[in-house]
């Protein structure tokens, strides 16, 4: 009986797991869609520069480009580790 | 002026050529002068699906390079009036496909035809981008499966940025979602993304839903586009799709799980 329930639950899951994974990856893809081509490279190099001074993780850096009517704003967020 | 429709997907093997063949044939059967062009240089297959592989003499590249006239390369479909096929080259280099050349061919065809259906190669490289570049509408063929849905989303990004309409800031390419190989059985058991899941993730208008069907392989075996097999579920689903492309409001079919009756379960009255 338990085994049957277990099997049933496992079967139900795969399509909804697929949906959740897709929603995340597609949101990420769309975030990159409107970026200029140099953004990934810029992000990588900025990370390298910061790492020369402070050891930060890959995901501690957040970079985005917002376009307004007459100008673009490059926003750079770096989460630095707390001083000891 | 013809309407240019690209059939595209990003991922290979999801049913682009089957769909391009069925939709072009369906449009012609409805009385529209239609030409279907194979953009898959080096790996042409549309000729096989259309059943005209032995009648290919010249191809798209020959026309672009001035080695043959357009009318020499166009193959008249034997079964369907108003339908022509322009095959891709099997031997040439992909680079021979140029934007200028394609534009000239499309312009010339535009004078003669109502619809130009472009069968895109898989991927997001040169050939795929050229197939979509001049399009007015796009049919994004998607299987209810993770890699296909993700690739379709990538293609939607390209349609919004790398097409002539996008570059000229004209009204955008009209995007249609075509879901193929849908198995209501597996959807019911929770092992396949539902129609609504795919729609929700890609957020574009659904133009058709083609069920997983034995008729599709049978059709390609014979080189007869599946839309000719109007006894089959897939044939009817493609005919519905064509109607929707032509602006008709047709209710969706084949998306619900059909519980088999006792008799058909005993005697195996499978789907045709």
Radius of gyration (C-alpha) of chain B in whole angstroms: 18
Q: Any CB–CB contact under 8 A between B177 and chain A?
A: no
A21 interaction partners in chain B (CB closer than 8 Å): 146
Q: In DSSP terms, which residues pair with A64 in a beta bridge?
A: A75
Domain ranges of chain A: 36-84
Q: What is the pLDDT of residues B33-91, one digit of tens each?
A: 999 999 999 899 999 999 999 999 999 999 999 999 999 999 999 999 999 999 999 87
- Residue-level pLDDT at A44: 83
Read off the DSSP letter of residue B192.
S
B1-256 folds as: Rossmann fold (3.40.50)
> Does residue A3 have a pLDDT over 90?
no
B154 interaction partners in chain A (CB closer than 8 Å): 29
- Residue-level pLDDT at A4: 64
Question: Nearest by CB to B153, which of A11, A14, A26?
Answer: A26
Annotate B73-112 with b (16+ C-beta within 10 A) or e (fewer). Answer: bbbebeebebbbbbbbbbebebeebeeebbeebbeebbee
Question: Nearest by CB to A22, which of B157, B192, B201?
Answer: B201
Q: Any CB–CB contact under 8 A between A16 and chain B?
A: yes
Phi, psi of B211, deg, nearest 5 = -75, 155
Cβ distance A18 to B146 less than 8 Å, yes or no, reads: yes
Cβ distance A19 to B153 less than 8 Å, yes or no, reads: no
Cβ-based neighbours of B114, under 8 Å, separated by 6 or more? B2, B3, B27, B32, B33, B34
- Residue-level pLDDT at A5: 66
Across B16-30, average pLDDT: 98
Q: In DSSP terms, which residues pair with B7 in a beta bridge?
A: B119, B139
Distance from CA of B201 to the nearest CA of A (A): 6
Q: Any CB–CB contact under 8 A between B172 and chain A?
A: no
CA–CA dist B135, A68 (Å, integer) = 30
pTM of the model: 0.84
Q: In DSSP terms, which residues pair with B179 in a beta bridge?
A: B142, B209
Distance from CA of B252 to the nearest CA of A (A): 22
ipTM, 2 dp: 0.83
- Residue-level pLDDT at A2: 65
What CATH superfamily is the domain A36-84? Answer: Cell division topological specificity factor MinE (3.30.1070.10)
Across B99-120, average pLDDT: 97
Q: What is the pLDDT of residues A32-74, one digit of tens each?
A: 777 777 877 888 888 888 889 888 877 777 777 777 778 878 8
> Does residue B219 have a pLDDT over 70?
yes
């Amino acid at each position: 009986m338990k085994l049957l329930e277990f099997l049933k639950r496992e079967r139900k899951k795969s399509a909804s797991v697929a949906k959740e994974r897709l929603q995340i990856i597609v949101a990420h893809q769309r975030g990159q869609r409107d970026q200029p081509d140099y953004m990934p490279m810029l992000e990588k190099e900025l990370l390298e520069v910061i790492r020369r001074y402070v050891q930060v993780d890959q995901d501690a850096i957040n970079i985005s480009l917002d376009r307004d009517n007459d100008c673009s704003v490059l926003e750079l967020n770096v989460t630095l580790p707390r001083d000891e | 002026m013809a309407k240019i429709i690209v059939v595209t997907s990003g991922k290979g093997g999801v049913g682009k050529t089957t769909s391009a063949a069925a939709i072009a044939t369906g449009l012609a059967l409805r009385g529209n002068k239609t030409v279907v062009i194979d953009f898959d240089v080096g790996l042409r297959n549309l000729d096989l699906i259309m059943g005209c592989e032995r009648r290919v003499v010249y191809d798209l590249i020959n026309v672009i390079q001035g080695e043959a006239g357009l009318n020499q390369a166009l193959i008249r479909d034997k079964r369907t009036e108003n339908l022509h096929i322009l095959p891709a080259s099997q031997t040439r280099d992909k680079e021979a496909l140029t934007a200028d050349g394609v534009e000239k061919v499309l312009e010339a065809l535009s004078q003669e035809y109502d619809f130009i259906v472009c069968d895109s190669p898989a991927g997001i490289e040169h050939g795929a981008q050229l197939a979509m570049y001049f399009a007015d509408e796009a049919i994004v063929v998607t299987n209810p499966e993770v890699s296909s849905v993700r690739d379709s989303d990538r293609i939607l990004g390209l349609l919004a940025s790398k097409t002539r309409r996008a570059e000229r800031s004209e009204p955008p390419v009209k995007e249609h979602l075509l879901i193929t190989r849908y198995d209501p059985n597996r959807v019911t058991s929770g092992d396949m993304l539902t129609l609504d899941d795919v729609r929700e993730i890609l957020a574009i208008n659904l133009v058709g839903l083609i069920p997983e069907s034995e008729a599709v392989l049978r059709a390609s075996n014979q080189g007869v586009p599946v839309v000719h097999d109007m006894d089959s579920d897939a044939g009817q689903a493609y005919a519905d799709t064509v109607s929707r492309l032509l602006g008709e409001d047709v209710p969706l079919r084949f998306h619900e799980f059909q519980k088999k009756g006792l008799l058909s379960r005993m005697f195996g009255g499978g789907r045709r």
